[in-house]
Structure 1
Amino acid sequence: MKKKLSILSLSLLFIFALLFLAACSDDSDTDTSSDDNGETEDGGAEKEGDTANEEPITLTMFNADGEEKSFDDPVAQKITEKTGVHLELDYPVGGNDEAIPLMIASGDYPDLIFAKGDIGKLISAGGVIKLDDLIEEKGDNLKAMYGDQLDRLRNSIDDPSIYHVGTYGVEEARWETSGTFQIQLDVLRELGYPTIRTLDDFEAAITEYTEKYPEIDGQSTIPLSLLGSDWRWLITVGDPAAAAAGLAGDGQWAIDDDTGEATYKFLLPELKEYFKWLNGLNDKGLLDPESFTHTYDTYISKLSSGRVLSIADQNWNFGDADAALVADGKEWRTYAPLPVTLSEDHVSQSIKDYGYSGGWGISISSTSEHQERAFEFLDWMASEEAQILVNWGIEGENYDIEDGKRVMKKEDRERMNTDANYSKESGVGYYIYPFPQWGNGAVDSNGQSITPNTEEDIIENFNSAEKEVLEHYEMDNWVEWFPSTEELGVSNHGQAFNYPIESGSDLEIIQQKADDLTEQRITQAILGDPDDFDAAWDAMLEELEAMNIEKANQEMTQKTKDVMELWGTN
Structure 2
Amino acid sequence: MKKVLFILVASLLLITACSKNGGNGNEGASGSPSSSASAAGADSKEPVTLKLVYKDLPPEDPNSLKLVKAIEDGMAKQGTPIKLEIVPVQAGTYSEKLGLLLQSGTIPDLIYFQGGDYNFAMNQKILEDLTPYIEKSTHVKASLSELNNERMKNYPYLIWMAPMRAQVPVVRQDWFDKTASGKALLENPTIDNYYSFFKELKEVSGAKYVYTVAGLLPEIDVMFNQAFGLTSTWIKGADGKYAFASTTQAEKEKLDFYAKLYKEGLLDPEFLTKKWDTKEKAFYDGEAAVMAGTQGKIIDIYNTKTVGQNGEAAKVMVLPPAKGKAQGYLPVDVSKESRGMAIASTSEHKDLAFAVLEYMASPEGQMIDKLGIEGEEYTLEGGKIKLTEKFAAWYPHFVENMENFKPAQEFDPSTPYLSEPAVKSMEMFGAMSTKDNVFVIPSDLSSKWDASLAIYNEFAANYVVGKAADFDKFVQDWNAAGGKEVTDYANTILK
TM range (shorter): 0.7 to 0.9
Which one of the candidate residues 479, 489, 493 is aligned to 1:555? 489
CA distance in 2 between partners of 1:186 and 1:516 (Å): 39
Amino acid of the structure 1 residue aligned with 2:113: A
8 A Cα contact 1:85 1:377, kept in partner: no
* SS in structure 1 of the partner of residue 451 of structure 2: helix
Deviation at 1:312, TM superposition (A): 3.9
Counterpart in 2 of 1:430?
396
Partner Cα separation in structure 2 for residue 311 and residue 262 of structure 1: 32
Distance 1:399 1:101, change over 3 A: closer
Q: Which residue of 2 aligns with 1:472?
A: none
Q: What does residue 278 of structure 2 align with?
A: 298
Once the two structures are overlaid, the 10-residue window that deviates more, 362-371 or 66-75, is 66-75
Match of 2:79 in 1: none
Is the partner of 2:388 in helix, strand or coil? helix
Structure 1 87/269 Cα, relative in aligned 2: closer, same or farther at 3 Å?
farther
Report the Cα offset of residue 163 of structure 1: 3.2
Instruction: Identify which of 161, 179, 184 aligns with 1:195.
Output: 184
Q: Could you tell me which residue of structure 1 aligns to residue 210 of structure 2?
A: 223
Which runs of structure 2 are paired with 1:418-567 in the superposition (5 Å)?
Answer: 419=392, 422-423=393-394, 429-431=395-397, 435=398, 437=399, 439-444=401-406, 457=416, 461-462=419-420, 477=424, 482=428, 485=431, 491=435, 496=438, 501-503=441-443, 505-506=444-445, 508-528=446-466, 533=469, 536-556=470-490
Q: Deviations over 1:135-188 (max 9, x none)?
A: 67x7454455559976853456xxxxx434x3133xx6x9xx962333332332
Partner residue of 2:78? Answer: none
Aligned pair in 2 of structure 1 residues 441, 305: CA closer, same or farther (>3 Å)?
same
Question: Among 234, 248, 266, which residue is 1:286 paired with?
Answer: 266
Match of 2:114 in 1: 116
TM-aligned CA deviation for residue 19 of structure 1: 7.5
- Given that 2:89 and 2:98 are in contact with CA atoms closer than 8 Å, whether structure 1 keeps it comes out as no
Task: Give CA-to-partner distance per residue, 1:82-104, whole Å, 9 cap, x none.
Answer: 23323415346222542244245
What TM-score, normalized by structure 2, do the two folds share?
0.76
Checking the alignment, whether the CA contact within 8 Å between 2:25 and 2:39 is kept in structure 1 is no
Determine the C-alpha separation between the residues in 2 that align with 1:127 and 1:54. Answer: 30
How far apart, CA to CA, are the structure 2 residues paired with 1:311 and 1:409? Answer: 30
Structure 1 pair 306–109 and aligned structure 2 pair: CA distance change class (3 A) = same
* Letter paired with 1:392: L
- Please point out which of 37, 41, 46 is paired with 2:37: 46
Residue type of the alignment partner of 1:269: Q
2:366 is the counterpart of 1:393: no
Report the count of equivalent residues. 475
Residue 171 of structure 2 is aligned to residue 183 of structure 1: yes
Contact 1:104 1:127 (C-alpha < 8 Å) held by counterparts: no
Amino acid in structure 1 at the alignment position of 2:310: G
> 1:31-70 to 2 correspondence within 5 Å?
44-46=35-37, 55-64=46-55, 70=61
Give a deviation string over 1:211-261, Cα, whole Å, max 9, x none: 456x46xxxx22222221xxxx2642555553544666x7xx2478xxxx9
Aligned counterpart, 1:163: 157
Using the TM superposition, give the Cα deviation of residue 440 of structure 1 relative to its aligned residue in structure 2, in angstroms: 1.3
SS in 2 for 1:129: coil
Does 1:242 find its partner at 2:242?
no
For 1:70-109, what aligned pairs fall within 5 Å after superposition? 70=61, 72-83=64-75, 84-91=82-89, 93-109=91-107
Alpha-carbon distance in 2 for matches of 1:386, 1:288: 41
The change in CA–CA distance for 1:112 and 1:147 in structure 2 (over 3 A counts) is: same
Q: Deviations over 1:376-431 (max 9, x none)?
A: 32332232321222123334544455786xx331534xx55xx4xx21xxxxx332
Check the 8 A contact 1:140/1:379 in 2, yes or no.
yes
Partner of residue 340, structure 2: 361
- Distance in 2 between the 1:326 and 1:392 partners? 21
Kept in 2, the 8 Å contact 1:392–1:398? The answer is yes
- Counterpart code for 1:111: D
Q: Cα distance, 1:265 vs. partner?
A: 2.8
Quickly say closer, same or farther: Cα 1:146–1:319, change in 2 above 3 A: closer
Residue 179 of structure 2 aligns with an amino acid whose one-letter code is L
> Measured at CA, do residues 163 and 77 of structure 1 come closer, stay the same or move farther in structure 2, by a change above 3 Å?
same
SS at match of 1:59: strand
Return closer, same or farther for 1:380/1:441 CA change in 2, 3 Å cut-off: closer
Separation (CA, whole Å) in 2 of partners of 1:30 and 1:126: 27
**Alpha carbons of structure 1 residues 27 and 97: separation in structure 2 relative to 1, 3 Å:** closer
Q: Where does residue 321 of structure 2 map in the other structure?
A: 340
Per-residue CA distance 1:480-513 (angstroms, 9 max, x = gap) = 7x5863x867x5x7x84xx65444x21x122201
Assess if the C-alpha contact under 8 Å between 1:30 and 1:55 holds in 2: no
Confirm whether residue 378 of structure 1 aligns to residue 357 of structure 2. yes
Q: Percent identity?
A: 19
1:79 deviation in Å? 1.1
TM superposition shift of 1:286: 2.1
Q: Secondary structure at the match of 1:266?
A: helix
Separation (CA, whole Å) in 2 of partners of 1:514 and 1:58: 43
- The 8 Å contact of residues 120 and 501 in structure 1, kept in 2 or not, is answered as no
2:451 corresponds to which letter in structure 1?
Answer: K
CA contact (8 A) 1:179 1:235 kept: no
- The alpha-carbon deviation at position 284 of structure 1 amounts to 1.8
Question: In structure 2, how many angstroms separate the alpha carbons of the residues matched to 1:511 and 1:354?
Answer: 16
- Contact between 1:117 and 1:500, CA under 8 Å: does it hold in 2? no
Tell me which moved more, 59-68 or 272-281. 59-68
Q: Measure, in 2, the Cα distance between the counterparts of 1:281 and 1:237.
A: 11
Segment of structure 1 superposing worse, 16-25 or 303-312: 16-25
Task: Find the residue that maps to 1:195 and give its secondary structure.
Answer: helix
> What is the one-letter code of the residue matched to 2:272?
F
CA contact (8 A) 1:58 1:88 kept: no
Q: Which amino acid is the alignment partner of residue 439 of structure 1? A: N
Contact 1:235 1:313 in 2 (8 A): no
- Matches of 1:288 and 1:201, distance apart in 2: 19
Length-normalised TM-score, structure 1: 0.68
SS of residue matched to 2:84: strand
Cα deviation, residue 299, structure 1:
2.7
**Which AA in structure 2 matches 1:62?**
V
Query: C-alpha distance in 2, partners of 1:11/1:186?
Result: 87
Do the aligned partners of residues 521 and 353 (structure 1) sit closer, same or farther apart at CA in structure 2, a change above 3 Å counting?
closer
Amino acid at match of 1:194: K
**What SS class does the counterpart of residue 547 from structure 1 fall into?**
helix
Partner deviation per Cα, 1:41-64 (whole Å, 9 max, x = no partner): x99432799669652354332235
Which amino acid in the other structure matches residue 163 of structure 1?
Answer: Y
Q: Secondary structure at the match of 1:98?
A: helix
